[in-house]
A and B are shown apart, each in its own frame.
Chain A
């Protein structure tokens, strides 16, 4: 199985900050990577697919990059509604696997 390692596991940031979350795959996954946002008590929401494609309706401050084994989710200017947990997920090969999550907290 492909292991997905996210870092950091948590980050404290202020409104307006630039936040970067990284995800590393244990083997190459081409660009088959998605990013999800999850707020407490809610289902995950798709943000980015195929590593760098912004899902319809997602604000432009979210962006994704990377290919192979190293990927990045960037929030260019953190907004109050962005405080949540974020997960990467590989879809290169079954079983699809998620990173352990990154919690973005208010500083």
Chain B
């Protein structure tokens, strides 16, 4: 079945780096745009980044621009989010999501928690 399985979260000190992964299965990964969305504890959803199906273009939320990098390896059907210069306000549950037709997020990964704390 169509599935996104995430890994790579954890606790990290401010200013440090972390990389999240999102492994896709059950569909042709290389034909879909992919996104990262995050949710701070007790808060709503915040869109983070998008990467085109072939990696040719990327776009970021202002809150992470210059610090986060979205990438993909279509040969491994895997999406990544490299997070540098992490701040306390980056603490959140991070979700990867496939952009299905009609600009919809479906499915979503299970989420991975990133905690930025000294």
Which of A16-24, A41-49, A73-81 lies at the interface? Answer: A41-49
List A contacts of B95 (CB < 8 A).
Answer: 43-44
Could you tell me the distance in whole angstroms from the C-beta of A36 to the nearest C-beta in chain B?
7
Contact A34 B105 (CB under 8 A): yes
Could you tell me the distance in whole angstroms from the C-beta of A65 to the nearest C-beta in chain B?
16
Among A46, A50, A89, A91, contact of B45 (Cβ-Cβ < 8 Å):
A89
Among B44, B102, B110, contact of A49 (Cβ-Cβ < 8 Å):
B102
Could you tell me the distance in whole angstroms from the C-beta of B21 to the nearest C-beta in chain A?
16
List A contacts of B35 (CB < 8 A).
Answer: 96
CA distance in complex: A98, B44 (Å): 8
Q: Does B108 contact A (CB under 8 A)?
A: yes
Closest to A48 in B: B104
CA distance in complex: A106, B36 (Å): 31
Contact A97 B47 (CB under 8 A): yes
Known: A46-B105, A94-B50. A101 touches B44 (CB 8 A): yes
